Structure 1
Amino acid sequence: MTNKEKAKAYWKENIKYVLILMFIWFMVSFGAGILFKDALNTIKIGGFKLGFWFAQQGSMYVFVVLIFVYVRLMNKLDKKYGFDA
């Protein structure tokens, strides 16, 4: 596999990871915080409705976790394609 082919495959896989992680974050922030808030508001955590919690705090926590997941995925991807200098 040439360097150009490796780079192309690397970026294709990278974009796939980004799209998947952004979809997860969208579903947590928009889905849980707005679309499904009425169903989630029947559950309470620490005295707050779960829909409210996701809209105010949960999406930020999930975003931070997704950053760490992305770093881990990219480290594996770098090793897979030999870009891990």
Structure 2
Amino acid sequence: MTKKAKAYWKENLRYLFMLLMIWFVVSFGAGILFKNILDEIKIGGFKLGFWFAQQGSMYVFVILIFVYVRLMNKLDRKYGYDS
């Protein structure tokens, strides 16, 4: 593996780790760990902890997919892997 390819994959794995940590904090943290604190806030009549567990983590996951695509497009251009 070339030096350029190793740098590319290292940066790619860093992005993956950051995005997965965000998703973990939102899904597990907000939906389970911080549920009691978030349940004091209501959105549309539903407790915020319940909302994150049922809806919010899925919305964040879809947003993170688009963020990942954008980051990877920039990374591909940076290392010359775009076609």
- Shorter-normalised TM range: over 0.9
Measured against aligned partners, the alpha-carbon deviations of 1:59-79 in whole angstroms (never above 9, x if no partner) come to: 000000000000000000000
**Runs of 4 or more above 3 Å deviation:** none
Structure 1 unaligned residues grouped into runs of 5+? none
Matches within 5 A, 1:37-52: 37-52=35-50
**CA apart distance, 1:21:** 0.2
CA distance in 2: counterparts of 1:38 and 1:4, whole angstroms: 50
Q: TM-score, normalised by structure 1?
A: 0.96
The structure 2 residue matched to 1:65, chosen from 63, 66, 75, is 63
Q: How many residues are matched?
A: 83
The structure 1 residue matched to 2:73, chosen from 65, 72, 75, is 75
Percent same amino acid among aligned pairs?
A: 77
Q: TM-score, normalised by structure 2?
A: 0.98
Matches within 5 A, 1:7-46: 7-46=5-44
Over aligned residues, Cα RMSD in angstroms? 0.8
Measured against aligned partners, the alpha-carbon deviations of 1:14-61 in whole angstroms (never above 9, x if no partner) come to: 000000000000000000000000000000000000000000000000
**CA apart distance, 1:13:** 0.1
